[in-house]
Structure 1
Amino acid sequence: MENIPYAQAYKNIRAIELEEEARAIRENIKPRRASMHSTAGPDIKILYTPINNEIGVVFVGEDGAPPANRDIIVYPHSQPTHRISYLSCHLEPMIYLILFPNGEKSWHINMQHRPEQQTRVRNKVIMQEYHSYRLAIRDSFSIIHRSGKLFQAIKVNIWLNGSFSKE
């Protein structure tokens, strides 16, 4: 992890938890706790064991659609927290460190086609093209296809971002 730029730049959840505990001691208050709840079973205080090992996504929305804003909050070292858009080229490398070990950027709005593939009308790579290229099966080794459940997670993330919907 020491060679991965995003792992060095941002705090992990344990660091945030330790800061919260220190704040609670300083202010003589009870620390805030993060928790997970499930309403799938009869007792909402119990986090039930998944019945299968596939990765999925569940939304609770008024119209059944994914939420429009899926931005994340990051905690940089020695800086205030800030929001990163789900369309940021830094988001996937931060979430999937092992798939972007050198901090390579992911798709972004201004990503250009290679000059030999540009036309007068189309010169930018759309999200669907980028992810289709990343997910394509090739004869050479592919870390993304060998990443097991992480591969499933990134596919769910791609679906959430609407990369296979018409843009």
Structure 2
Amino acid sequence: LNDGQIVLGVDRVSGTRIETHVRVGGELSDRKGLNRQGGGISAPALSDKDKEDIRFAVEESIDYIAVSFARDADDIEQARTLARRAGRDARIVAKVERQEAINNLPSLIEASDVVMVARGDLGVEMGYAELTGLQKTIIHQTRMKNRVVITATQMMESMIQNPIPTRA
């Protein structure tokens, strides 16, 4: 939970109920993410609120729309279609932060205008030991398709408390 700051162990799964124990505790506030190392938690990339936000972005003449937790090319095309129907040909940014995105990386890159390596969630889900290699692979494959790639998330987090960024 919370970008890996809180770690739970699963004791039992029964239907939609999961019983856990705390391995690493911490403070948990609202609107924090849930990840499973190795992937396996899946939800639609675009919620109803995301769809409303895309319509609002088009009204405000936004040039780029980022799709969080994009899984595949269909998620990107859905965002692109919503923007076009609302009246704008916005550029679509695929945020790569899940195992499913890695599994579908070539088609995800092809469908996107820009790819963002979302280091926080990707590191939690795939493991920090794998993050550097995955990041290099994503950057290489994206550049080979002549797409823009962004590696920015979690890199400026340290600047909340310190005006000088870390080299992370």
TM-score, normalisation: structure 1:
0.25
Greater relative CO (CA pairs within 8 A, separation 6+): 1
TM-score, normalisation: structure 2:
0.25
| Bigger strand fraction | 2
Larger Rg: 1
